[in-house]
Amino acid sequence: MGGSCMNNGAVSTESQIALIVDGEFRVRSLVSHWLANAGFKCLQAENATDACNYLCNSHVHLVILDITLPGRAGTELLEDILAISPDVVVLMVAAVQETRAAINVLRRGASGYLVKPVSREQLLLQAGKAIAQRKVLIDRRQYTERLEQQILRQRVVIRQAHEETIHRLVAASSCRDVETSMHILRTGLFAELLARAKGWSSADAETIRLAAPMHDVGKIGIPDAILRKPSKLTREEFEIMKTHATIGATMLEGSIAPMLQMAQQIALSHHERWNGGGYPCGLAGLAIPESARIMAIVDVYDSLTHVRVYRPAMSEKTALEIMRHGEGKDFDPALLAIFFQNLPIIRGISAQYPDEPREGMEFGLNCPPRTLATLAEPATMGI
C-alpha cells in the first residue's frame, strides 16, 4: 500500500514523522502500522498533552487527529498544533459525518477530514495529497522569502550607493565652503538621533539623515569672497550670504522623492528661528518644518564646536551656554530639551567622526576669537 501511495503521490515519505493522536490504543496501533508500511516514522499520543510534547520536541510532518479526545476537543488541539508547527499537515478523523464540523476544522487549518471507519487506502491517499500540497505551499513561500531577501539586499546596496553619492556630491560642493566633510556626516547622524528621540518612524528618521547633508548646498551660489571671508561679514555681504537658503531650496525643489523633498524643506528653513527672527521667510514656532527645527539645533552645535574660517572651535561648554541662551528664541524648546537629553550620544558621534587635521588647518586657526555676545548672534551661528 505504501508503494501505491508514493506512486500516486505525491512525495516521498522516507524519514517523515507522523503523529497519531487518538484515545483508542487499537486505532492508534492500526493507523501507525499503515503509515509505517508507507515509509513514515510513527509516534502515538492518547491525549492533547502528549501530542503537544511530541510536537515541541520532534519535527512532525503529519498529524492524524481524532476530533474527540479524552479531556479536550480535537478542534481546540488543532489550533495549538498549528501554532506550534504551522507547516504540519493535519488530517482530522471523526466518528460520524458532519458537514458543519468538517467545514469548521478545514477553516481552522486542517488539511483533510476523514470519517471512521477509515480505510488504509483512503488514509494514505489523503495523507499523500495533503503532504504534496503543503510542500508546494512551503516551496512557494520559501521562494518568495528568498526573493524578498534578495530585494532587501539590493535595496540596501542601492541605498548605500545613494547615500554615498549624496555625500560625495555635497562634499564636492562644500570644497568652497567652511564646512568639512565630517560636519556633513555628523549633522546627518545628529538629526537622525533627534528625530528618533522625538518619535519619528525609522523610515522618516533615515530620510532626515540622508537629507540633512544638503542643508547648505545653496552655498555653491555664494561668491568665494563672501563664503570664505575670514572676518565678520558686512550687512550687504550677509544679505547675499542669506540667499544660500533660497538657492539651495530652488536647486532641490520639484522632486517626487521624499528624501529630496525633505532636503528642500531643510535647505529653505533651517535658518528660521523659533521667535520668527530668522530667514528667509521669518517663520516662527510650529510654522517652521520640524525637520528644519531639528537641523537648526544640530547645525549650530556642530558649527560652534568645530573650526570655521572666521574663528577657531570653541569649547563645548561655551557652545552649550549659547544654545541654552537661544531656547525659545532661536530653537524649539522641546527639541532643544531632547538634544540635551541625548548629549552623551551626540558627544560619542562627534568623537567617532572628528574633522581631519588638514581640514582644520585650511580654515584660519589663527583668527582672533570673537566675544561670547557676538558669537551668540543668530546671524553668526549657522551661516
Give the C-alpha separation, 341 to 190, whole Å: 13
CA distances from 292 to 112, 141, 281 (A): 60, 43, 13
219 is catalytic: yes
Q: What is the rounded (10 degree) CA torsion for 330, 332, 337, 343?
A: -60
Give the C-alpha separation, 304 to 312, whole Å: 9
Handedness of CA 241, 243, 245, 248 (dihedral sign): negative
DSSP readout, 174-201?
A: GGGSS--HHHHHHHHHHHHHHHHHHT--
Give the C-alpha separation, 134 to 82, whole Å: 13
Give the C-alpha separation, 236 to 163, whole Å: 36
Give the C-alpha separation, 308 to 314, whole Å: 10
Which one from 219, 229, 242, 329 is the annotated catalytic residue?
219
Helix (H) or strand (E) holding 27: helix 25-37
Q: Could you give the residue numbers annotated as active site?
A: 219
